């Protein structure tokens, strides 16, 4: 299995640290499983973003994680994490 390196933007890191422990743990688990892309250990609500090449989103309850996959570098860049009503603006 390919092992991808995860990179977090400052916004994503700050959002996780501002969450309560329970939600932060859930978000961290979901993001951590992205290392196994595309062979996930657990099911995810994952979708490609329309109009943005190489961008995906994961739904975690009312939160959305926007990330980009760099196949050649074996990296996943977590660009943004926010609530559903704020993430796409």
Give pLDDT tens digits for 32-78: 988 888 777 667 888 999 988 889 999 999 999 999 999 899 999 99
pLDDT at 2: 56
**Mean pLDDT along residues 8-30:** 96
| Per-residue tokens: 76 | 């996943």
Hey, which bits of the chain come out as E strands? 5-8, 45-48, 55-60, 63-70, 75-83
Nearest one of 48, 54, 78, 53 to 66, comparing CA atoms: 78
The C-alpha atoms of residue 58 and residue 30 are separated, in whole angstroms, by 8
The full set of domain ranges for the chain reads: 5-87
pLDDT at 68: 95
pLDDT at residue number 45: 87
Which is nearest to 8 in space by CA: 75, 89, 86, 87?
75
Would you give the DSSP letter of residue 44?
Answer: -
Q: What is the pLDDT of residue 59?
A: 93
Amino acid 52: pLDDT: 87
CATH number assigned to the domain with residue range 5-87, chosen from the 4 options 3.40.190.10, 1.20.1270.360, 3.30.420.40, 3.30.2310.20? 3.30.2310.20
Asked if the model's pLDDT at residue 10 lies above 70, the reply is yes
Evaluate if residue 89 carries a pLDDT over 80: no
């Amino acid at each position: 299995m390919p092992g991808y390196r995860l990179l977090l933007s400052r916004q994503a890191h700050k959002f996780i640290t501002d969450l309560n422990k329970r939600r932060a743990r859930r978000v961290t688990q979901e993001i951590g499983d992205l290392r196994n892309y595309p062979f996930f250990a657990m099911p995810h609500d994952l979708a490609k973003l329309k109009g943005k090449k190489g961008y995906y989103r994961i739904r975690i309850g009312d939160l959305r994680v926007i990330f980009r996959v760099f196949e050649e570098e074996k990296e996943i860049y977590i660009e943004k994490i926010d609530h559903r009503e704020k993430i796409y603006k």
